[in-house]
Amino acid sequence: MTENFVYQSQAVRVLFGRGKLQSVPAELDLHNRSRALILCTTSSRPTAERVQSAAAGRIADIHQLPKTGDARERLAKLIEHAKQKDADSLVVIGGGSPIGFAKTMAAKTGLRSVAVITTYSGSEMASSWSIGAGPDRMAGDDDNCLPLTAIYDPDLTLSLPPRTSAASGMNAMAHAVETLYGPDINPVVEGLAAKAVELLGSSLPRVVDRPDDIAARTDALYGAWLAAAFRAQAGVEHALAQRVRQGFGLDHSHCHAIFTPYSIAFNAKAAPRAMELIARALGAKDAGQGLYDLYVRIGLPTGLKGLGMKEADIPKAVEAVAAGKFVNPRPVSRDDIANLITQAFHGQPPRF
């Protein structure tokens, strides 16, 4: 018998499938937007120009986001460009970084976006927003920052390099597996998160082996959307990955990829139902080891040291994580945090 539960859906319209990029003009019309500023990066500039050509008359201009620089300055330039062009919305193309700027733009100016997704990060489905790090960081949480429409076109992921795909996919996996033991888990979310683990676990090796495999790309993108759209409140994995990557300037997706097997192994005894679902979805005997084996299979660095972190930084990382607050099925002591970070630093199979 299904128990009572609460499920809160998000008001983001989703279009999924090959060729959906061509839907941008219709989506702008649907939301009564007539002067959209396209926000893109260097790699997504060709896609931006395709959209500009297809949506003639609805695009105010293209704003290419600089790769580096002060986040506040980059945001100020984006806001000024939008004002100069009298833009009433954004069309944001890309993954975590441009999506973060688009959500921050919505928070600061009220300009909403149509998001064209090209990675597996899932930022477009999270109401929380942030850009920058340290004193440069800006952050908040507001459903009004979410895209009006999120467009998932698997064709746009074909050019995503294998290693980037692998790391981005494991970032999505982190959302899915932590959802399965979140305090607000319910039958709807549980089924979808377990499906996300299955899809990502089966598709990421195929994506890495054959980057032009559109079926694998489609499965990975669908799994990433499920992982992002129906996530529950995050636990120790996100606390570790977010604090450590912000504190030491580490790559976002790779950091999540590294911490996921250790966090799951740490929580194994406290969340047996989640472990059963994860192991079954991966076709593995053990959830933590299964995630670690997948991580190795898709060729990612086997520890934080591979991202450039130094062993001498571990105590500082422990302090940063211990200072935060998060919900987790198993109590997490300072010694536990030190053990998790130390194991993740060296990159050996998880042991708890």
* pLDDT tens-place string over residues 14-69: 999 999 999 999 999 999 999 999 999 999 999 999 999 999 889 999 999 988 78
- 152 forms beta bridges with 16, 117
pLDDT tens readout for residues 208-227: 999 999 999 999 999 999 99
Residue 150 has which token pair? 């999120």
**Both tokens of residue 184?**
């607000």
* Residues 306 and 341 both lie in one domain: yes
Q: Which residues pair with 115 in a beta bridge?
A: 92, 150
In the predicted model, what is the mean pLDDT of residues 152-176? 95
Query: What φ, ψ does residue 305 adopt, rounded to 5°?
Result: -60, -30
Instruction: Using the Cα atoms of residue 143, residue 144, residue 149 and residue 151 in order, give the sign of their dihedral.
Output: negative
Contact assessment for residue 169 and residue 224, using Cβ atoms and an 8 Å cutoff: yes
Structure tokens that stand for 148 in this block? 């009006």
116 lies in the same domain as 219: no
Query: Which residues on adjacent β-strands are paired with residue 113?
Result: 90
Domain assignment present for residue 4? The answer is no
- Residue 1 predicted with pLDDT over 50: no
Give the angle 231-233-239 at the CA atoms, nearest 5°. 110
Is residue 191 in some structural domain? yes
> Per the domain annotation, does 5 fall within a domain?
no
Sequence-separated (6 or more) residues with CB below 8 Å from residue 333 = none
* Residue 199 within a domain: yes
What is the CATH classification number for the domain harbouring 42? 3.40.50.1970
Q: What is the domain-level CATH number for residue 259?
A: 1.20.1090.10
What is the extent of the structural domain holding 317?
162-346
Does 193 lie in the same domain as 331?
Answer: yes
Query: What is the pLDDT at residue 301?
Result: 87
pLDDT band for 6, please (50, 70, 90 cuts). Answer: low
Report the Cα 344 to chain-centroid distance in Å.
20
Distances (CA, A) of 233 to 183, 199, 264: 7, 21, 15
Question: Using CA atoms, how far apart are residues 245 and 131, in angstroms rounded to an integer?
Answer: 13
- State whether 106 and 206 are in the same domain: no
Q: Is residue 127 part of a domain?
A: yes
Q: For residue 139, what are the β-bridge partners?
A: 130
Last residue of a domain, one of 157, 180, 214: 157
Q: Which band of pLDDT confidence, cut at 50, 70 and 90, is reported for residue 8?
A: low
pLDDT at 233: 64
The count of residues in the chain is 352
Residues 112 and 205 in one domain: no
Residue ending a domain, choose from 157, 190, 214:
157
Q: Assess whether 192 and 301 both reside in one domain.
A: yes
> For residue 61, what pLDDT is reported?
95
* Nearest Cα residue to 113 out of 125, 103, 127, 126: 103
Each residue's pLDDT tens digit, 262-308:
999 999 999 999 999 999 999 999 999 999 999 999 999 889 999 99
Q: What is the 3-state secondary structure (H, E, C) of 219-233?
A: HHHHHHHHHHHCCCC
134, 204: one domain: no
Higher local confidence (pLDDT), 37 or 252: 37
Query: What is the tally of structural domains in the chain?
Result: 2
Contact 321, 173 (CB under 8 A): no
Element (H, E) at 64: strand 59-64
Residue 3 lies in a domain: no
Chosen domain end from 111, 141, 157? 157
Q: Are residues 117 and 207 in the same domain?
A: no
If asked whether residues 313 and 213 sit together in one domain, one would say: yes
Cα 179 to Cα 245: distance, rounded to the nearest angstrom: 21
Q: Count Cβ neighbours within 10 Å for each residue of 311-346 and write b for 16 or more, e otherwise.
A: eebbeebbebbbeeebebbbebeeebbbbbbbbbbe
Q: Is residue 2 part of a domain?
A: no
Average pLDDT, the chain: 91
Residues 194 and 341 in one domain: yes
> In the prediction, which pLDDT does 40 show?
94
Residue 8 domain-assigned (yes or no):
no
Q: CA–CA separation, 181 vs 273, rounded Å? A: 8
What lies within 8 Å, CB to CB, of 319 at 6+ separation is none
Reported as a pLDDT band with limits 50, 70 and 90, residue 2 is low
Helix H segments across the chain? 24-30, 45-54, 71-84, 96-109, 162-179, 187-209, 214-229, 236-248, 252-266, 272-282, 287-297, 314-322, 334-346
Together in a domain, 297 and 326: yes
Residues 208 and 333 in one domain: yes
